[in-house]
Chain A
Amino acid sequence: MWLGIWLAVAGLVLGVLLGLNIPLVLPQVYAKYLSVAALAALDSVFGGIRAAMEDQFDNTVFISGFFSNALLAAVLAFIGERLGIDLYLAAVVAFGVRLFQNLAIIRRHLFKKIK
């Protein structure tokens, strides 16, 4: 249980270090896609942690969910830009809601375990 969280945190730190050290600056135009993709990844990580706590974790579901979520969010952002509608807001809202739900569930599981 704790090992999973520590591994996730270590991965996050490693990723941040990697990202800061890669000498590559994405063009401004892609900033929106990147932000949505980051949000999708965040959602997947929280979802994964929750699933692991509930012992329902499925590797395939987790990985495919991560990539499909990120992809869908990016596609939504792209289409929204073409149509002149901020469609990526839909992804932001959906992921945000799920983020908080997952956080709440994780919190409860943690409390249960501590008690």
Chain B
Amino acid sequence: MKLPAKLPAYLSLALVAVVLGILIAFQFRVTRHIEQGVPAGRAQELALELRQLEKDKSKLKAEASDLNLKLDRATRGQAEAEKALEDELAKARLLAGLVPVTGPGIEVTLDNPPQQPDGKGPASLYTIRDEDLLRVINELRGAGAEALSINGQRIVAQTEIRWAAPFINVNLTRVVPPYHILAIGEPENLKSALEIPGGLVEYLRDLGVQVSIRPYERLTLPGYTRPMEFRYAKPVLKG
């Protein structure tokens, strides 16, 4: 047999074949791996894109926060403006006498001359007229009264005090004696303005009218309740 002589040759051939097989198998696996993976150029491209997108993202984020800030400021400004408007409206309603008000003031009570106890009729034939109430209101206004009412009827700019025999109309509502006139203001000033010698109270008492004045630390006046609407008067728009 020649075989033993050639055996080492065959063995080394087999060994190299083993190495070749290993190499081929490795190469197979690596190639498959490459196909599964992402090509280097593509990866680089994607990385570049990613970096660009990240830059964009941070830029957009900054923009969003900036816009949020502006929005915040705008809403805060709007809230402030709304509050200012509401304050203005409340002030206007207060000045117009549309809301109930409270504060220190005086109560002036006027009543017609009393009946005499022996049934001889009234002590005086005088009865309180609209002019008397108007004069009292006028005097109190002059003394700095900020809010006035007669028998629960708030005196506002549109209020009339009219003789509609045998009643007096205030705000188109009949009021009857005794007349309670409430005035909010500095109580002492209001009182002294009426009680000044030779003044209104003295004059009314001379006529036989019962007048009493009481200061209060706290009075509450109702608001004007009738609808207030101008049908003819329109505001003049300034160009």
A15–B6 CB distance below 8 A: no
A26 near B30 (CB under 8 angstroms)? yes
A19 to B212 alpha-carbon distance, docked (Å): 122
Number of residues in A with C-beta < 8 Å to the partner? 38
- Given the interface pairs A28-B30, A41-B19, A41-B20, the reply to whether A4 lies near B25 with Cβ below 8 Å is no
At the interface, yes or no: A12 with Cβ under 8 Å from chain B?
Answer: yes
Among the listed stretches B31-39, B115-123, B134-142, which one makes contact with chain A, having 4 or more residues with CB under 8 Å of it?
Answer: B31-39
Number of interface residues of B (CB under 8 A): 30
Q: Is B60 an interface residue (CB 8 A)?
A: no
Q: Could you tell me if A19 and B24 are in contact, using CB atoms closer than 8 angstroms?
A: yes
Among A69-97, those with CB < 8 Å from B are none
**Known contacts A52-B6, A52-B9, A62-B13: A19-B21 contact under CB 8 Å:** yes
- Provide the main secondary structure of the chain A interface: helix
Q: Once the chains bind, are B25 and A20 in contact (CB under 8 Å)? A: yes
- Interface status of B53 (Cβ within 8 A of chain A): no
User: CB within 8 A of B25: which of A7, A19, A57?
Assistant: A19
At the interface, is chain B mostly helix, strand, loop or mixed? Answer: helix
Q: Which residue of A lies closest to B32 (CB)?
A: A25
Residue B12, interface by CB 8 Å: yes
Given A19-B28, A34-B23, 6 more A-B residue pairs with CB atoms under 8 Å apart are A16-B21, A20-B25, A20-B29, A28-B40, A31-B34, A63-B12
- Chain B positions within 8 Å of A114 at CB level: none
Cβ of A15 and Cβ of B10 under 8 Å apart? no
Cα-based distance from A57 to B17 in the complex (angstroms): 16
Quote the shortest CB–CB distance from A66 to chain B (angstroms): 5
Contacts A10-B14, A15-B20 given; indicate if A25 touches B37 (C-beta within 8 A).
Answer: no
Contact A15 B27 (CB under 8 A): no
Q: Is A102 an interface residue (CB 8 A)?
A: no
B219 CB to closest chain A CB, in angstroms?
96
Let me know if A106 is at the binding interface, CB within 8 A: no
Near B by CB (< 8 A), chain A positions 1-60 give 3-4, 7-20, 22, 25-26, 28, 30-31, 34-35, 37-38, 41-42, 44-45, 48-49, 52, 57, 59
Q: Is the CB of B18 within 8 A of A18?
A: yes
